Amino acid sequence: MASPHMRHDLLYGNIRLFAGTASPDLSQEISDYLGLQLCGRDIIQFTNDNLFVKLHASVRGQDCYIIQTTSIPVHRNLMELLILTQTLKLDSAGRITVVVPYMCYGRSDRKDQPRVPITARLVADMIQIAGADRYVTMDLHAGQIQGFFSIPGDVLSAYHIIKPFLVKKMDSLTRPVMMTADLGFAKNGRRYAQALNIPLAFIEKRRTDNKERPEAMAVIGDIKDRDVILIDDEVDTGGSMCEAVHIIKEAGARDIYMVFIHPVLSANSIERLTKLPVKEFVTTNTIPIEKERLAKFGNRITVLSIGPLVAEVIRRANQGRSVGAMFNE
């Protein structure tokens, strides 16, 4: 009979890390931090686009973590995540946690017009049905997406990575002001502004119909003769940010620093961004940027890694320790 004082980290066995094909560098960084090797698996795409997954060893009773972001190609990466999850479930894994740095369909979080789906809810349902017991993700586009899951999870924030970086920059900035590209991210922007003890401004914008490009409106706040830290949760086509930069410059701002958590960077967004009068771009590796595309930014971009943060969360989850304690929460 098991002792009532059994260590919690034995309930689900040892950590087993599995990497999808979407974030190989991040997966390796996490495994290096934990001093573990990535578990062997085969992921094959047949000529008919069907995917096949096979594990190299049994995971019966083990604490398994799948590291897979769901960026472009979204449907390939999402199906890979689901098939990997089901494969571990069918092999009797003790617990399965999907680590999804960027959760796809985050913008489809509500019915904001007639006859449209809530795709974020569908994605949450599929992850659960595939067999996931827990999830870990970063900065969801909409907080209510957490409520779409009926399994426990940890929604981490890049705030704990970006804030220390910005703190080091404060002395070199002229009367800095934090600015959000729209009202939707204003609450998060206020958190950064308070931590850095600088004022907050934002842009009022209007998005019409189903267009990816919004109609940017006006600046609310004083940014004249100030350095501006423009922040948002993700950059997709770059339309919002391009509009924002032009309006900021017209309002008399000095240098602009663009900060975004998820570098979706679809289509020709990089070409558009690199033409902007932005002194520095700051992002994270929730989504990998190919070296060729990254090189187009020259020395104007800094990519902060979420690897150590995610790795420590995995360690604590396995040991049954508080994740909030990492942030004094």
| CATH code (residue 211) | 3.40.50.2020
What is the pLDDT, as a whole number, of residue 9?
45
Full DSSP string of 282-301? EEESSS---HHHHGGGTTSE
314 pLDDT exceeds 90? Answer: yes
Q: Are residues 124 and 177 in the same domain?
A: no
Token pair in block for residue 273: 């961004």
Q: Are residues 38 and 147 in the same domain?
A: yes
SS3 108: coil
Q: Are residues 181 and 298 in the same domain?
A: yes
106 close to 137: Cβ distance less than 8 angstroms: no
Annotated catalytic, 249?
Answer: no
Q: Are residues 112 and 186 in the same domain?
A: no
What is the pLDDT, as a whole number, of residue 1?
44
Could you identify the residue written with the tokens 């990997």?
84
Q: Are residues 211 and 260 in the same domain?
A: yes
Q: Are residues 215 and 254 in the same domain?
A: yes
Could you tell me if residue 2 is inside a domain? no
What is the pLDDT, as a whole number, of residue 327?
87
Question: Once rounded to an integer, what is the mean pLDDT over residues 109-131?
Answer: 95
pLDDT averaged over every residue in the chain = 92
287 pLDDT exceeds 70? Answer: yes
Cβ-proximal residues to 112 (8 Å cutoff; 6+ apart), any chain: none
Q: Are residues 261 and 178 in the same domain?
A: yes
Could you tell me if residue 1 is inside a domain? no
Q: Are residues 64 and 138 in the same domain?
A: yes
pLDDT tens track for 204-225: 766 555 655 556 578 889 999 9
Cβ-proximal residues to 291 (8 Å cutoff; 6+ apart), any chain: none
CA proximity to 96, closest of 328, 320, 317, 321: 317
Number of folded domains in the chain?
2
pLDDT tens track for 50-84: 999 999 999 999 999 999 999 999 999 999 999 99
> What's phi and psi for 252, nearest 5 deg?
95, 20
CA proximity to 71, closest of 271, 301, 236: 236
Could you tell me if residue 110 is inside a domain? yes
Catalytic residue, candidates 89, 168, 169, 205: 205
Note down the domain range covering 320.
8-157+307-327
